[in-house]
């Protein structure tokens, strides 16, 4: 196996790094920020293929990740939990393609739906406590022999490795010459958990997208999907609107203390890019453009990266 550089230390980059190392490659992760400062740390951590295409590969990658997360949910200390919840639909023809990857899903009953909802899907999927999971994934990389180096990569030609995996989220386009990436801003607020275990996703809420993801001691509440916006400052007015939506969706959240708040930029692309090309004398493997589904697709995409690297 060869020397591989992985650019990016979010959930996709770390997952690629650990599988490459466990396949026998000598791996170095090069990043200008560490996992707690990536957009992955802002994610709610619910398995759901949000803003990711095309449907066929996304379904395959998501199903492969479900298998991996199912095994992890049976182990302590990694932040992965298997939780039931409901995806709310507000039109008569919802996209149900993602359900092909999920076992045991069923139609929601009227009592499980908020006012105005037409239908819904109840299912159990992974809910990942991202701070805990990213720490666990980082340690697994270290145990596999992955090296880490803090640096800003301007060109893949500046890296000494013959193979470079570009998994740097929005910055990936700068390294590969890809102009198809679009930032989609998401703002969340994390509340103290009043005892919730069930998640709710209501993307078609007429007042704006809404989701409630209990992870343990906190509940991630969102959100927004502002295309082309890059401001990372928390907007107090947006937060008030988010809290209004989620407390109407789940009244038990009213009065729950705010623990923290955050903003992240989803790296959206017309199609998730996982391929291998020659660039600047390197074999460049792209793995980016996962939109709001980095966690959801991480293991499946990383398995393809290992195949492209020759392992």
Q: Tell me the binding residues for D-dopa.
A: 211, 266, 292
**Which residue is it, tokens 């500046």?**
158
Could you tell me the pLDDT band of residue 311, with boundaries at 50, 70 and 90? low
Percentage of the chain surpassing pLDDT 70? 99
Q: Tell me the binding residues for FAD.
A: 32-33, 153, 291-296
- The mean pLDDT of 112-118, rounded to a whole number, is 96
Could you tell me the pLDDT band of residue 2, with boundaries at 50, 70 and 90? confident
pLDDT tens digits, one per residue of 203-224: 999 999 999 999 989 999 999 9
Which H or E run includes 78?
Answer: none
The structure tokens listed for 198 are 């069930």
The structure tokens listed for 45 are 């951590």
Q: Is the pLDDT assigned to residue 1 strictly greater than 90? A: no
Cα distances (angstroms) measured from residue 228 to each of 12, 134, 267: 22, 27, 10
pLDDT of residue 105: 98
> Cβ(101)–Cβ(63) under 8 Å?
yes
pLDDT tens digits, one per residue of 223-241: 999 999 999 999 999 999 9
How many helices and strands (H and E) does the chain possess? 6, 14
pLDDT tens digits, one per residue of 191-200: 999 999 999 9
Transcribe 158-219 into DSSP letters: GS-SSEEEE--GGGHHHHHT----EEEEEEEEEEE-SS---EEEETT-TTS-EEEEE-SSEE
Q: Which long-range contacts (CB under 8 A, 24 or more apart) does 254-257 make?
A: 256/191, 256/192, 256/193, 256/194, 256/219, 257/191, 257/192
> Cβ(114)–Cβ(156) under 8 Å?
no
Q: Tell me the binding residues.
A: 32-33, 153, 211, 266, 291-296
- The mean pLDDT of 30-48, rounded to a whole number, is 96
Neighbours of 77 (CB within 10 A): 10
Q: Is the pLDDT assigned to residue 72 strictly greater than 80? A: yes
Of the listed ranges 79-83, 200-204, 307-311, the one predicted with least confidence: 307-311
Q: How far apart are CA 80 and CA 69, in angstroms?
A: 7
Neighbours of 234 (CB within 10 A): 14
Query: Shortest CA distance to 68 belongs to which of 266, 273, 309, 306?
Result: 306
- The mean pLDDT of 180-194, rounded to a whole number, is 98
Q: Which residues contact 90 (CB under 8 A, 6 or more apart)?
A: 116, 117, 118, 202, 204, 205, 206
Could you tell me the pLDDT band of residue 127, with boundaries at 50, 70 and 90? very high
């Amino acid at each position: 196996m060869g020397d591989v550089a992985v650019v990016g230390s979010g959930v996709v980059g770390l997952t690629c790094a650990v599988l490459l190392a466990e396949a026998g490659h000598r791996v170095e992760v090069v990043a200008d920020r560490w996992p707690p400062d990536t957009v992955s740390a802002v994610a709610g951590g619910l398995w759901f293929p949000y803003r990711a295409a095309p449907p066929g590969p996304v379904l395959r990658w998501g199903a492969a990740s479900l298998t991996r997360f199912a095994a992890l949910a049976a182990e302590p200390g990694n932040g992965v939990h298997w939780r039931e919840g409901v995806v709310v639909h507000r039109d008569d023809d919802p996209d149900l393609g993602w359900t092909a990857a999920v076992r045991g899903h069923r139609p929601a009953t009227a009592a499980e739906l908020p006012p105005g909802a037409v239908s819904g899907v109840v299912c159990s999927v992974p809910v990942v406590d991202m701070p805990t999971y990213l720490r666990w994934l980082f340690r697994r990389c270290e145990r596999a022999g992955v090296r880490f180096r803090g640096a800003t990569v301007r060109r893949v030609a500046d890296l000494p490795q013959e193979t470079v995996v570009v998994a740097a989220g929005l910055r990936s386009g700068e390294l590969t010459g890809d102009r198809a990436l679009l930032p989609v801003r998401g703002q969340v607020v994390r509340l103290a958990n009043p005892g919730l275990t069930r998640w709710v996703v209501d993307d078609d809420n007429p007042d704006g997208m809404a989701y409630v993801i209990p992870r343990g001691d906190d509940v991630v509440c969102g959100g927004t999907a502002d295309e082309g916006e890059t401001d990372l400052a928390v907007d107090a007015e947006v937060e008030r609107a988010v809290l209004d939506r989620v407390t109407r969706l789940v009244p038990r959240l009213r009065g729950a203390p705010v623990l923290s708040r955050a903003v992240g930029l989803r790296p959206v692309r017309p199609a998730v890019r996982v391929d291998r090309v020659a660039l600047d004398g390197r074999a460049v493997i792209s793995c980016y453009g996962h939109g709001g589904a980095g966690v959801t697709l991480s293991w499946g995409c990383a398995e393809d990266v290992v195949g492209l690297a020759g392992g």
